[in-house]
Structure 1
Amino acid sequence: MSLIHLREALTKKLLVREYSMDACKFYVAHLDAVNHQWGGNKLFKLIGFLEEVSIGDTLVSFGGEHSNHLYALAALADSFRIVVYIRRSYTTQSNVDSRVVRLLRESGVSCHYLASKDYQRARNDEAYRQSLGRIHNASCIIPEGGNGAEAEFGLRLLATKLNHQFVAPTEFHLAAGTGTTARYLAKHLNDRHRLMVTPVVTPSQLGFDELDNAEIAWYQPRKRFAKLRAADELRLAHCADIKLSLDRVYNIHALETLMASNFRGPKCLVHTGGMRSQIANL
């Protein structure tokens, strides 16, 4: 996908489908369908970082081995020289690349690894990120997950789409990791709507304790992504029955909050993607 194609894809109307499960009718805004291969909220977050760069510039970014952000970033490898710093997960087998890392290498992305301590520094220390960017003469340095103020540009665009496509007051359900998407959707969704945020991390990992114009519904914070209860596995099976594909890390838990909601108007799951970078042994 070129930068031009990305911009065109993000201007199109969102794919919204209606589903029914256990006598509950709800909508799904399929951000995972923004593009045939590439999709999700990560593309909306990326576009704001690319406003001041030129084709052929060097981009430096960061992520784990299964990062949806790095997967999305690989879509732009034909337009930019991309350098990524990766932290290996503690479950990684020696000398075995994840699906995401294989994709990065196949796309021509330059991959480097950081020890856990240095990766934490890259996550939290902008000066350190800048020093790594200077090594590669980077025009743009994108934090882990695209979690910077620049992400507001694309997420405001997403909120505008939801505002236009949902006329009636609607309760939107969104899974949250660091919470960047939740923060800016809460800021730009119309006041007639309601945003329910379901964190999939521990409280210390979420980027805020509370959020204006949104409600946080703690589901079951886990120490390891994709570690599901039997009830979650059953919910995934029911989703498969209605041909709704959800990942095991994020969206399945936001759907659980939606199913438990007593909101009387339309309810919509904001499907942020996540399927493409997921592998069986997460």
Structure 2
Amino acid sequence: METKQIEKVLKAPAPHMVGDGFRVHNFFPSGYKINMSPFFLMDYGSKIEFSARKEPRGVGVHPHRGFETVTIAYHGAVAHHDSAGNSGVIYPGDVQWMTAASGILHKEYHEAQYSLTGGPFQMVQLWVNLPSKDKMGKPGYQAIKQADMAHFDLPENGGKIEIIAGNYQGIKGNANTFTPIELYNARLNKGSEATFNFPEHFNTGFLVIEGSIKVNGSETAAADNFLHFKNEGEEIKIEALENSVILVLSGEPIDEPIVQYGPFLMNTQAEIHQAIEDYNQGRFGYLEE
């Protein structure tokens, strides 16, 4: 099987704040102009210490339409509320998969107890595009706890691959997706190896959350680096140079035009105008600040 080579190892772009609770590095589409469809956006909140605070930090009520948000927690805890009546808390290892589709309001805050104690905080949020036929579908919500997550144990106590979405070694991930997506947390112990196989045309990237890895026996990548792979070959081998956590993304591109305006991701300018009108008319529901 032909090896899928690295196109580029990308360092974390300068961070910016989202609300007052999320310090993020935007790898794409702002930081780097790379094609990762169906993943439209990746905000990486590298590890940071937040001080204790009574009033939780976060982001107030805001709308989304036309895509899904996927939030993956590594340190800290985030509380979520939305206008479809969903709410929950994601703790380290948990994943929250929100389908905005035709329109939703939501807010995200540091969970109250975490806020009171403070401590390390590390998260990833992805925007996953929806195909045009599903953009105006019904909003949805999938809460995936780490304890319930499908996983594959690597041999000889090498660690494990947590399968958020897709299929690894015949084990199916928990999340339901609209297009073919592979999304894993690879938790590798020092010296262990893992092999991944993705179709040639899938857009593929690895984010090193913790530790450092050697890829395909040659290139190395440290924590907070993103590896963007070529659309050639299928097999990727990684070796953990120390205990490491790697977020693995691969998906079939959605070959449709994209028009983005703030929190809306549609196919045409007219659909963006409609989204703004619907939001202004209160058609996204109601959510208390």
**Under TM normalisation by the shorter chain, which class is it?**
under 0.3
Q: TM-score, normalising length from structure 1?
A: 0.26
Q: TM-score, normalising length from structure 2?
A: 0.26
The structure with the largest strand share of the pair is 2
The structure with the largest helix share of the pair is 1
